[in-house]
Amino acid sequence: MSVTAADAANNTSKATTVKVSDKTPPAAPSVNAVTTKSTAVTGKAEANSTVTVTVNKKALALLLLTAKDNTQ
């Protein structure tokens, strides 16, 4: 992010750059029902997040969501 200041004559200062860190974890994803006959795991997760499907401590799927995606 950059921040500037301007006076009444609209003279603008040089920009100061500030790095902003996102330290808040996303909410837990919501997952639709899964059965032994399911061929996919569906649900919703925060945009721009990574969703990992894990069974018996083994990662089976890794999904990288964009701003427009939901897990499917």
14 belongs to a structural domain: no
Please, is 26 exposed, middle or buried when counting C-beta atoms within 10 Å of its C-beta (0-12, 13-18, 19+)? middle
User: 10-19, 40-49, 59-68: lowest mean pLDDT where?
Assistant: 59-68
pLDDT tier at 61, thresholds 50, 70, 90: confident
Rounded Cα distance, 52 and 12, in Å: 46
pTM for the structure as a whole: 0.59
53 belongs to a structural domain: yes
Count structural domains, the chain: 1
Mean pLDDT of 43-49: 88
Domain encompassing residue 70: 30-72
